[in-house]
């Protein structure tokens, strides 16, 4: 790619990454309005799931035993959404940050970012802190990382 076109592509990528970041902030923190139903510590205890595959497994079991469209939609929305939302993150990290061109470094960065996001959601009561979410988010970023490889 010519030097001028590469600069333009990098600038566009930075703008899109900024827009993506704002969208993620809205989706992950602003959109979720917690409704206080108990004291803070009780809510924290109810919003943590550190058992790997328990949420995903529960959803897939529910779908297996209840193969109805509304159950399928819930599974696709939760599992597919957690993957799809972070495909751009892997793409942008690999494209914009030279240290993230290595797959392992990029996935480590994504795991740290997503763990931080999950903990922030937990302590601000804006969502649930689940290890399954981190795993699915990293999978999505890995897919995005692979897509970015075509451009380099």
129 beta partners: 48
- For residue 108, the model assigns a pLDDT of 98
> Model pTM?
0.89
Six-digit token string for 79: 């599992």
Whole-Å CA distances, 39 to 2, 36, 43, 44, 131: 59, 7, 6, 9, 24
- For residue 29, the model assigns a pLDDT of 87
Q: At what angle do helices 87-96 and 103-123 cross, to 10 degrees?
A: 130
Angle at 103 between CA 147 and CA 95, to 5 degrees: 50
Asked if residue 90 lies in contact with residue 10, where contact means CB atoms within 8 angstroms, the answer is: no
- For residue 2, the model assigns a pLDDT of 67
- For residue 20, the model assigns a pLDDT of 98
The DSSP code sequence of 97-121 is -GGGGSHHHHHHHHHHHHHHHHHHH
Furthest-apart CA atoms within the chain: distance in Å? 59
pLDDT tens track of the chain, all 152 residues?
Answer: 567 777 888 899 999 999 999 999 999 988 766 566 678 888 888 889 999 999 999 999 999 998 889 999 999 999 999 999 999 999 999 999 999 999 999 999 999 999 999 999 999 888 889 999 999 999 999 999 999 875 55
């Amino acid at each position: 790619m010519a030097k001028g076109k590469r600069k333009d592509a990098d600038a566009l990528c930075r703008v899109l990454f900024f827009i993506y970041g704002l969208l993620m902030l809205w989706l992950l923190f602003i959109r979720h309005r917690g409704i206080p139903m108990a004291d803070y510590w009780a809510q924290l205890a109810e919003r943590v799931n550190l058992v790997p595959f328990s949420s995903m497994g529960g959803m897939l079991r529910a779908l297996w035993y209840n193969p109805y469209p509304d159950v399928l939609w819930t599974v696709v929305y939760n599992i597919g959404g957690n993957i799809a939302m972070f495909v751009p993150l892997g793409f942008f990290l690999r494209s914009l940050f030279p240290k993230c061109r290595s797959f392992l470094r990029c996935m480590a960065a994504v795991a740290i970012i997503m763990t931080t996001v999950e903990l922030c959601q937990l302590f601000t009561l804006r969502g649930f802190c689940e290890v399954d979410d981190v795993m699915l988010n990293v999978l999505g970023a890995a897919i995005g990382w692979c897509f970015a490889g075509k451009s380099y």
